[in-house]
Amino acid sequence: MTPQLARSAWGSLETLHVVAFFAPEVQRAYDRFGVPATRAGYFAARSSAFGAADPALVVATFYVFSPDLVARAVPAVWAAGTPEEWATARRDAVGTALHRVLGEPDVAEVLELAREAVAGLGAAGRPLYAAWSGADWPEDPLLQLWHAGLLVREHRGDGHVTALMAAGLDPVEALVTGGLASGSTDFVRTTRGWSDAEWTAGERRCRDRGLVDDGGLTDAGRALRADVEATTDRLAVAGWAHLGADGTQRLVGLVAPLRERLFDSGLLPDWIRSRG
């Protein structure tokens, strides 16, 4: 199993999973809880597998988000709804969005492959994945495929945090360099909650390290980000190795038309295409 094939498989399922972050149905579901804090629903739903998580736990596991942004949302979200209610709101809204765009596709074969890959994932050193690995699977097959993407995503994300820390990139430095590498700077700068002063200081640290200049990432910056991604890929192979190369390649092929329909719908930003 090559890391490149594993990355392609993750990128395929990731396209379905990130519907939870962009679909208007999901934001409307969060709005009904009446918590005015920015990204309150995101923090509540994604951390709900921990139970009523303390802000410090969310800061530690989400890594690139400003502690101040988290503190404005958590624990206020738990006063507005239980973790189970937030998780259910996200799941049901994602189901509505997926079926709106994709209809009723036959996902039986790809779901079997995805669940086999998930069966090969381990929880050691993966706090968000470990928490979600105990959650019940939805009944709807398309939502089951989304849930498989969630598990793969959180497992990989935990490993990505490890890779960022090993590279010596603090949260803002990770966003500055990662945004330049993926073309998502505007998105991450406006959604992760860091002040202009904090962002500027992070850019300065990256300049001092020779990672960025006026033209964007330097050769050293590109090399460091490539190393971060390569480390993340190596740490994310286990589930796909369990499935096997043939099954993994088959999964990529089966998800491809669903992925294209999601992009064609305009629901997702185009920079997500670079994932996988």
**Per-residue pLDDT at 272 exceeds 90:** no
Over residues 174-202, mean pLDDT = 96
List Cβ neighbours of 234 (8 Å cut-off, separation of 6 or more): 3
- 102-131 CB burial, b ≥16 within 10 A, e <16: beebebeebbebbbbbbeebeeeebbbbbb
Residue 15 is predicted with a pLDDT of: 94
Residue 1 is predicted with a pLDDT of: 86
Residue 29 is predicted with a pLDDT of: 98
Question: Could you tell me if 99 and 68 are in contact, meaning their C-beta atoms sit under 8 angstroms apart?
Answer: no
Residue 153 is predicted with a pLDDT of: 97
SS3 66: coil
pLDDT per residue as tens digits for the range 109-145? 999 999 999 999 999 999 999 999 999 999 999 999 9
SS3 216: strand
Total count of domains within the chain: 1
Residue 126 is predicted with a pLDDT of: 98
Residue 274 is predicted with a pLDDT of: 66
| Bridge partners of residue 213, in order along the sequence | 216
Domain that holds residue 60: 3-274
Split at pLDDT 50, 70, 90, the class of 276 is low
Q: Among 99, 91, 82, 79, which residue's Cα sits nearest to residue 29?
A: 91
pTM exceeds 0.75, yes or no? yes
